[in-house]
Amino acid sequence: MRKASDSYQACVARTKAEERRDRLLNAANAVQQAGQALREAAAARNLHDLDPKGFKVPEIADDDFVDWAYENGMQTVGGRVIRDELMAAPLNERCPLCRQGTVRQLDHFMPKSHFPALCVDPLNLVPVCERCNLIKGNKRPDRAENTLLHPYLDRVSHEGWLDARSIHDSGTVRLRFFVSPPASWDATLIARVKNHFRLFELGKRYAIEANRAISDVTYSVERQRKRGGARMVRFYLEDEAESRFAVDLNSCEGITYRTLAADDLYCEGSSGQDSPSSVSSL
């Protein structure tokens, strides 16, 4: 990842108005120090302790600075390179906050309204989908427990932390997703993931995706059932789940198939043959 100072230079070096450019270049030191403070707090896992007072830029009003360095700066040739690199980072353009939407915007993890000096720091710029950006807004952490997951700093995808249970209701089956933390997680990380899950309405969003996945396999499941009963259905679903987990241990589809494979009622065909129409939310 590029350094804060490199990104800043790329964004402001081509500012056309000379007087404005000089003022921006004079602020380079403050931007570099802010980037350093961000990295130290990230390493110590205390982003929630950062005081916005230390993230102003001297002699330039906050709004002007964000306007000049970020809004205009990211439109310049140098700024566009930074922006394109950040936007291209997520695999398959998938939003790292919800793991569902398509990345469309850059979110300032520490909001630019409170931390203007971090407005073009790559460590503070997270490519996200429109919906996640809207939900997050200007929220900033004030406790360790409500620090949202930072895609560059918090690597939780190498462990399974998502699970679901099936619910049968009027001939349909639907899934309720929940956070199932690995034993190695401490209480703070568990609270953070649960908070993240709740804020971005992941339970509701994953339940909708699960409904789609259930609809999509209805035909194949029925065919397997005719071939070899519940046993064949189970094999089929376990195979589908395994294929998803090979790519992503917390794959919503994978968890859907695994949960259904463990559901005797569903596999036997006593419930869940119809396309589901109801959605659970947490």
Using the contact rule CB under 5 A, the part of the chain among 20-28, 123-131, 137-145, 233-241 near Zn ion is: 123-131
Q: Is 252 in the site for Zn ion (CB under 5 A)?
A: no
Choices 98-106, 157-165, 232-240, 254-262 (CB under 5 A): range interacting with Zn ion: 98-106
Q: Which whole-number Å values give the CA distances from 249 to 94, 180, 209, 245, in the listed order?
A: 15, 12, 16, 5
Distance CA 42, CA 49 (A): 10
What sign for the dihedral angle of Cα 125, 13, 26, 6? positive
CB of 203 to Zn ion, least distance (A): 14
- Verify binding: residue 132, Zn ion, rule CB under 5 A: yes
Question: Which member of 24, 95, 164, 214 binds Zn ion (CB under 5 A)?
Answer: 95
Measuring CA to CA, how many Å separate 132 from each of 24, 43, 76, 86, 149?
31, 25, 26, 16, 12
Binding mask 37-56 for Zn ion (x = CB under 5 A): --------------------
**CA angle at residue 261 from 259 to 266, to 5 degrees?**
95
Q: Does residue number 103 form part of the binding site for Zn ion (CB under 5 A)?
A: no
Decide if residue 27 touches Zn ion (CB under 5 A): no
Token readout for 111 is 């909001």
What is the residue type of 53?
Answer: K
Report the candidate in 143, 163, 159, 101 with the shortest Cα–Cα distance to residue 126. Answer: 101
Which residue's CB is nearer to Zn ion, number 101 or number 116? 101
Q: How many CB atoms lie within 10 A of CB 4?
A: 24
When asked if residue 129 is in the footprint of Zn ion (CB under 5 A), the reply is yes
x/- contact string, 50-89, with Zn ion (CB under 5 A)? Answer: ----------------------------------------
126 part of the interface to Zn ion, by CB under 5 A: no
Gap between the Cα atoms of 278 and 71, Å rounded: 42
In single-letter form, the type of residue at position 253 comes to E
Pick from 98, 173, 217, 233 the residue near Zn ion by CB under 5 A: 98
Of these, 35, 101, 141, 181, which contacts Zn ion (CB under 5 A)?
101
Torsion of CA 196, 169, 167, 156, to 10 degrees: -30
Total site size for Zn ion, rule CB under 5 A: 6
Interface residue list for Zn ion (CB under 5 A) = 95, 97-98, 101, 129, 132
